[in-house]
Amino acid sequence: MKEKESSILNKIWGLTQSNSGELKKISGHVAVLNSEMGGVKKDIGDIKNNYVRNETFSPVQRIAYGFVSIALLAIAGAILKLIIIG
Protein backbone atom coordinates (compact mmCIF):
# COMPACT_ATOMS: atom_id res chain seq x y z
CA MET A 1 0.00 0.00 0.00
CA LYS A 2 2.85 2.40 0.81
CA GLU A 3 4.43 1.74 -2.58
CA LYS A 4 1.13 2.50 -4.30
CA GLU A 5 0.81 5.79 -2.40
CA SER A 6 4.38 6.77 -3.12
CA SER A 7 3.97 5.98 -6.84
CA ILE A 8 0.79 8.09 -6.94
CA LEU A 9 2.61 10.92 -5.17
CA ASN A 10 5.51 10.60 -7.60
CA LYS A 11 3.11 10.80 -10.54
CA ILE A 12 1.45 13.88 -9.05
CA TRP A 13 4.88 15.47 -8.45
CA GLY A 14 5.90 14.69 -12.01
CA LEU A 15 2.72 16.26 -13.38
CA THR A 16 3.23 19.30 -11.21
CA GLN A 17 6.81 19.73 -12.40
CA SER A 18 5.90 19.26 -16.07
CA ASN A 19 3.05 21.75 -15.81
CA SER A 20 4.92 24.39 -13.82
CA GLY A 21 6.33 25.97 -16.99
CA GLU A 22 2.87 26.15 -18.50
CA LEU A 23 1.47 27.55 -15.25
CA LYS A 24 4.13 30.27 -15.23
CA LYS A 25 3.32 31.08 -18.85
CA ILE A 26 -0.41 31.25 -18.11
CA SER A 27 0.15 33.39 -15.02
CA GLY A 28 2.24 35.75 -17.16
CA HIS A 29 -0.60 36.02 -19.66
CA VAL A 30 -3.07 36.67 -16.85
CA ALA A 31 -0.85 39.46 -15.51
CA VAL A 32 -0.67 41.06 -18.97
CA LEU A 33 -4.44 40.80 -19.41
CA ASN A 34 -4.98 42.31 -15.98
CA SER A 35 -2.77 45.30 -16.78
CA GLU A 36 -4.49 45.77 -20.15
CA MET A 37 -7.91 45.74 -18.47
CA GLY A 38 -6.73 48.58 -16.23
CA GLY A 39 -5.89 50.58 -19.36
CA VAL A 40 -9.28 49.79 -20.90
CA LYS A 41 -11.07 50.92 -17.73
CA LYS A 42 -9.10 54.18 -17.80
CA ASP A 43 -9.97 54.72 -21.48
CA ILE A 44 -13.66 54.12 -20.80
CA GLY A 45 -13.51 56.68 -17.98
CA ASP A 46 -11.89 59.20 -20.33
CA ILE A 47 -14.55 58.61 -22.97
CA LYS A 48 -17.35 59.10 -20.43
CA ASN A 49 -15.83 62.39 -19.25
CA ASN A 50 -14.75 63.85 -22.61
CA TYR A 51 -17.54 63.22 -25.11
CA VAL A 52 -19.41 66.05 -26.84
CA ARG A 53 -22.60 66.65 -24.98
CA ASN A 54 -25.82 67.59 -26.76
CA GLU A 55 -25.94 70.95 -24.96
CA THR A 56 -22.57 71.98 -26.40
CA PHE A 57 -23.41 70.70 -29.88
CA SER A 58 -26.88 72.29 -30.14
CA PRO A 59 -25.75 75.85 -31.13
CA VAL A 60 -23.51 74.48 -33.88
CA GLN A 61 -26.42 72.39 -35.12
CA ARG A 62 -28.70 75.43 -35.26
CA ILE A 63 -26.13 77.45 -37.24
CA ALA A 64 -25.70 74.61 -39.74
CA TYR A 65 -29.47 74.24 -40.15
CA GLY A 66 -29.70 78.02 -40.70
CA PHE A 67 -27.12 77.94 -43.51
CA VAL A 68 -28.83 74.99 -45.18
CA SER A 69 -32.21 76.72 -44.93
CA ILE A 70 -30.84 79.89 -46.52
CA ALA A 71 -29.29 77.90 -49.37
CA LEU A 72 -32.50 75.94 -50.01
CA LEU A 73 -34.58 79.14 -49.90
CA ALA A 74 -32.25 80.75 -52.45
CA ILE A 75 -32.50 77.73 -54.76
CA ALA A 76 -36.29 77.65 -54.43
CA GLY A 77 -36.45 81.40 -55.17
CA ALA A 78 -34.26 80.99 -58.26
CA ILE A 79 -36.48 78.17 -59.58
CA LEU A 80 -39.66 80.18 -58.99
CA LYS A 81 -38.13 83.21 -60.74
CA LEU A 82 -37.27 81.04 -63.77
CA ILE A 83 -40.80 79.67 -63.89
CA ILE A 84 -42.61 83.01 -63.45
CA ILE A 85 -40.35 85.16 -65.63
CA GLY A 86 -39.08 82.37 -67.81
Residue 76 CA to residue 86 CA, distance in Å, equals 14
pLDDT in tens, 20-36: 777 677 777 777 777 87
Distances (CA, A) of 79 to 71, 73, 83, 84, 85: 12, 10, 6, 9, 10
In this prediction the pTM is 0.38
Cα distances (angstroms) measured from residue 52 to each of 48, 55, 83: 10, 8, 45
pLDDT of residue 80: 92
Which pLDDT score, from 0 to 100, does residue 66 have? 95
Which residue ranges make up each domain of the chain? 1-51, 53-86
